[in-house]
């Protein structure tokens, strides 16, 4: 063990006789790979897959976030809040089915996007994290003229900016 003190003199470096040391010391075992100690988990990283999988669906002619869709909003809020160290911006897109006029559907799509934004704010997400846009009926998720298609087109989606 070496002692360190405030001194102008340097302690002499120890010398090692390689012939004697080699004879006295047994051969070192081969290094073995050991798993690294468990590190603190990194905060969740928000990626496009997180957004695409969390489409929020709406009832006909409604912009109320349904109770059945609230878990999706909570999940997204948790991911966004976990990324405090790396602020992100998210665009919430409101969509509608083809029924109704273009003007009506654009307004309804905007109300849907804002309803999701309000639900995220209620979960503690900072309001400046999101922007909203409405595409009305212009970007259907499913082509078709039946209730099955319409229900998939009445939605809110998320895009990372």
Greater confidence (81 vs 144) lies with: 144
**Region 41-70: what's the mean pLDDT?**
76
Q: d(Cα 70, Cα 77) in Å, to the nearest integer?
A: 11
* 64: in domain: yes
Q: Is the pLDDT of residue 24 over 80?
A: no
Cβ contacts of 53-56, under 8 Å, gap ≥ 24: 54/158, 55/141, 55/155, 55/156, 55/157, 56/116, 56/155, 56/156, 56/157
Greater confidence (36 vs 61) lies with: 61
Give tens-digit pLDDT for 108-151.
999 999 999 999 999 998 888 889 999 999 999 999 999 999 99
**Region 55-82: what's the mean pLDDT?**
92
pTM score of the predicted model: 0.68
* 134: in domain: yes
* 76: in domain: yes
What is the phi-psi region of residue 44: left when phi exceeds 0, alpha when psi lies from -120 to 50, beta otherwise? beta
HSE value, Cβ hemisphere, 13 Å, CA-based, for 150: 11
The pLDDT, as a whole number, for residue 122 is 95
The pLDDT, as a whole number, for residue 128 is 84
The whole-angstrom distance between residue 127's C-alpha and the CA centroid of its chain comes to 17
The number of beta carbons lying within 10 Å of the beta carbon of residue 64 is 12
Q: Is the pLDDT of residue 58 over 80?
A: yes
* 34: in domain: no
% residues pLDDT > 70 (the chain):
66
* 91: in domain: yes
Give tens-digit pLDDT for 87-116.
678 899 999 999 999 999 999 999 999 999
Q: d(Cα 23, Cα 19) in Å, to the nearest integer?
A: 6
- Residue 40: pLDDT band (50, 70, 90) is very low
* 14: in domain: no
* 87: in domain: yes
Domains identified in the chain, total number: 1
Which residue segment(s) compose the domain that 95 sits in? Answer: 48-160
């Amino acid at each position: 063990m070496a002692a360190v003190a405030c001194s102008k003199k340097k302690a002499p470096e120890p010398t090692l006789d390689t012939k004697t040391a080699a004879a006295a010391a047994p051969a070192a075992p081969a290094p073995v790979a050991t798993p690294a100690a468990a590190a603190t988990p990194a905060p969740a990283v928000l990626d496009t897959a997180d957004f695409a999988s969390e489409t929020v669906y709406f009832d006909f002619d409604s912009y109320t976030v349904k109770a059945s869709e609230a878990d999706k909003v909570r999940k997204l809020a948790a991911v966004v809040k976990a990324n405090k160290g790396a602020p992100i911006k998210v665009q919430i897109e409101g969509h509608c089915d083809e029924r109704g006029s273009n003007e009506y559907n654009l307004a309804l799509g905007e109300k849907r996007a804002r309803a999701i934004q309000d639900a995220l704010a209620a979960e503690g997400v900072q309001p400046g994290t999101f922007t909203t846009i409405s595409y009305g009926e212009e970007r259907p998720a499913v082509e078709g003229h039946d209730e099955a298609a319409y229900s998939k087109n009445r939605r809110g989606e998320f895009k990372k900016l």
